[in-house]
């Protein structure tokens, strides 16, 4: 009898051990959940036991990198990771009945998956990297992750460029299901999303992540549910300050310094034209960055155009000053009159020169009748003296007019320099004050 009791006890223990061993297998759990073979119902049917109850899909958005921004096309390219969670009411079990198994990884293709889209997405489909597995928990919760190089549309406000803070929205919705079938929400709060994104971010480029806000939860548009995340990104302006703002300011200073070059120097005009062409090159570079569809002109465009206009006006002023410096007024008229007077005097003196030449050659003594009388000689001398006096007077008059034009040019140059200096100072101060609120 004792032997039979011992044998029975051993049989019970062995059976219990075998049962325990078989129950701890993932296969038994999959078999219990009807996942050992293809199950069309689980793959295609929304996982609710009552069709009037919507499926609540929770979404978390994390930024892994800010790769690129395109101001022309108004787009950002970011590396993102999305965590999704929903409940499958057909996949629940008691962990105590399966050796404490609380979660299970299965192929994505074996389960129903919400048709989630990113509304602002303008990237190609090949950039999404979906995990082939989803994790199913004992309470029916299903969690899935995917990572994507996302290019999304964002309406950029470039008024304060390059000290701009951009606000972009990334919204998740269902492509085909209405709000009665799928509603959206979030898993984590805003602080957690921002902290994790800031910690795991691999590259930032010229941007700094300020905050990720949950803009709206379970918003309904066109009978579809949405969840929107607001991403705030601050541009790092150092590159544009070095490449645009400082060089333009230096060009303005150099143009002011060019007023100390002598007015008579042609190099002054060449120097100013060179500055003007250099600013034109910077304007062309800026035109390749900023879009032409902005409602409000960016401050940096105003900054460039004002400096360009001031330098252009300075070039025109230099041309005017040089023209006045070289202006000879009626000098051509005086020169023509002088030539005529000289020709007349020469004609009067020709007989005397001929007589002197005849005497030198010794061809005979001049007759008394051929020699000019004393009266005629004095008259000729008087005419010559008057001609010299007239010529000297006209030259003094021309020189006086030239000197007056030079004084006028000097006055214009000094007055323009003072006005130019005042206008430049006011412009720089106002531009700085306009940019200050955008920098803070």
What pLDDT shows up at residue 385? 66
Q: Establish if 298 belongs to a structural domain.
A: yes
Q: Establish if 11 belongs to a structural domain.
A: no
What pLDDT shows up at residue 322? 84
Q: Looking at the structure, do residues 189 and 95 belong to the same domain, yes or no?
A: yes
pLDDT at 80 over 90: yes
Q: Which helix (H) or strand (E) holds 183?
A: strand 182-186
Q: Looking at the structure, do residues 138 and 264 belong to the same domain, yes or no?
A: no
Q: Establish if 9 belongs to a structural domain.
A: no
**SS (HEC) of 401-416:** HHHHHHHHHHHHHHHH
Q: Looking at the structure, do residues 190 and 278 belong to the same domain, yes or no?
A: no
Q: Looking at the structure, do residues 221 and 75 belong to the same domain, yes or no?
A: yes
Q: Looking at the structure, do residues 229 and 242 belong to the same domain, yes or no?
A: no
Q: Establish if 242 belongs to a structural domain.
A: yes
Q: Which residues contact 32 (CB under 8 A, 6 or more apart)?
A: 93, 98
Query: What percentage of the chain has pLDDT greater than the value 70?
Result: 75
- We report the CATH number of the domain holding residue 51 as 2.70.170.10
Q: Establish if 393 belongs to a structural domain.
A: yes
Average pLDDT over residues 228-246: 92
Q: Establish if 17 belongs to a structural domain.
A: no
Average pLDDT over residues 156-182: 91
**What pairing do the DSSP bridges indicate for beta strands 55-70 and 165-174?**
unpaired
Q: What is the pLDDT of residues 369-386, one digit of tens each?
A: 555 666 766 667 766 766
User: What does DSSP assign to residue 290?
Assistant: S
Q: Looking at the structure, do residues 231 and 364 belong to the same domain, yes or no?
A: no
Q: What is the pTM of this model?
A: 0.73
Domain assignment of residue 302, given as a range: 238-440
Q: Looking at the structure, do residues 59 and 38 belong to the same domain, yes or no?
A: yes
Q: Establish if 10 belongs to a structural domain.
A: no
C-alpha–C-alpha distance, residues 314 and 320, integer Å: 10
Tell me the β-bridge partners of 209: 233
Q: Looking at the structure, do residues 252 and 227 belong to the same domain, yes or no?
A: no
What's the Cα-to-Cα distance from 317 to each of 37, 87, 212, 264, 415, rounded to whole Å?
Answer: 88, 77, 54, 13, 11
Q: Looking at the structure, do residues 247 and 232 belong to the same domain, yes or no?
A: no
Residue where a domain terminates, one of 201, 236, 271: 236
The backbone torsions φ and ψ at residue 137, rounded to the nearest 5 degrees and listed phi first, read -100, 160
What pLDDT shows up at residue 349? 42
C-alpha–C-alpha distance, residues 196 and 194, integer Å: 6
pLDDT level of residue 93 (50, 70, 90 thresholds): very high
Q: Looking at the structure, do residues 136 and 80 belong to the same domain, yes or no?
A: yes
User: For 222-236, 345-359, 406-420, which range has the lowest pLDDT when averaged over its residues?
Assistant: 345-359
pLDDT at 333 over 80: no
User: For 97-111, 209-223, 336-350, which range has the lowest pLDDT when averaged over its residues?
Assistant: 336-350
The backbone torsions φ and ψ at residue 210, rounded to the nearest 5 degrees and listed phi first, read -95, -45
Q: Looking at the structure, do residues 82 and 69 belong to the same domain, yes or no?
A: yes
Q: Establish if 8 belongs to a structural domain.
A: no
H and E: helices and strands count for the chain: 10, 11
Mean pLDDT over each residue of the chain, to the nearest integer: 80
Please provide the distance, in angstroms rounded to a whole number, between the alpha carbons at the two ends of the chain.
93
The tally of domains found in the chain comes to: 2
Q: Looking at the structure, do residues 371 and 383 belong to the same domain, yes or no?
A: yes
Residue where a domain terminates, one of 236, 258, 281: 236
Q: Which residues contact 276 (CB under 8 A, 6 or more apart)?
A: 308, 311, 312, 315
Residue where a domain terminates, one of 182, 216, 236: 236
């Amino acid at each position: 009898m004792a032997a039979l009791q011992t044998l029975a006890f051993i049989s019970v223990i062995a059976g219990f051990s075998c049962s325990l061993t078989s129950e701890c297998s993932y296969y038994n759990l999959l078999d219990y959940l009807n996942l050992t073979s293809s199950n069309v119902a689980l793959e295609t049917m929304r996982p609710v036991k009552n069709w009037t109850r919507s499926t609540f899909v929770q979404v978390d958005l994390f930024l892994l990198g800010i790769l690129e921004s395109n101001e022309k096309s108004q787009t950002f390219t970011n590396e993102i990771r999305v965590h999704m969670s929903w409940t499958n009411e057909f996949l629940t079990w008691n962990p105590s009945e399966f050796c404490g198994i609380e979660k299970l990884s299965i192929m994505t293709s074996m389960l129903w998956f919400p048709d989630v889209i990113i509304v602002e997405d303008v990237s190609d489909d090949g950039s999404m990297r979906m995990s082939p597995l989803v994790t199913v928990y004992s309470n029916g919760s299903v969690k899935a992750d995917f990572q994507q190089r996302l290019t999304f549309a964002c309406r950029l406000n470039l008024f304060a460029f390059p000290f701009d803070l951009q606000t972009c929205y990334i919204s998740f919705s269902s492509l085909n299901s209405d709000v009665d079938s799928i509603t959206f929400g979030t898993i984590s709060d805003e602080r957690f999303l921002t902290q994790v994104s800031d910690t795991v971010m691999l590259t930032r480029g010229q941007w700094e992540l300020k905050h990720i806000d949950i803009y709206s939860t379970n918003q309904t548009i066109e009978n579809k549910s949405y969840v929107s995340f607001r991403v705030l990104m601050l541009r790092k302006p150092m590159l544009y300050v070095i490449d645009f703002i400082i060089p333009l300011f230096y060009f303005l200073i150099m143009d002011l310094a060019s007023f100390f070059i002598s007015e008579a120097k042609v190099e002054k005009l060449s120097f100013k034209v060179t500055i003007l062409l250099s600013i034109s090159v910077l304007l062309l570079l800026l035109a390749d960055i900023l879009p032409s569809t902005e409602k409000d002109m960016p401050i940096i465009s105003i900054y460039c155009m004002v400096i360009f206009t001031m330098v252009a006006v300075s070039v025109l002023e230099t041309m005017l000053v040089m023209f006045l410096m070289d202006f000879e007024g009626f000098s051509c008229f005086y020169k023509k009159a002088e030539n005529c007077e000289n020709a007349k005097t020469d004609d009067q003196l020709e007989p005397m020169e001929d007589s002197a030449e005849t005497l030198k050659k010794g061809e005979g003594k001049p007759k008394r009748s051929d020699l000019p009388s004393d009266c005629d000689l004095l008259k000729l001398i008087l005419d010559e003296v008057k001609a010299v006096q007239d010529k000297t007077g006209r030259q003094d008059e021309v020189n006086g007019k030239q000197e007056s034009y030079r004084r006028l040019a000097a006055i214009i140059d000094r007055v323009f320099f003072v006005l130019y200096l005042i206008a430049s100072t006011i412009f720089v101060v106002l531009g700085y004050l306009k940019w200050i609120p955008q920098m803070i």
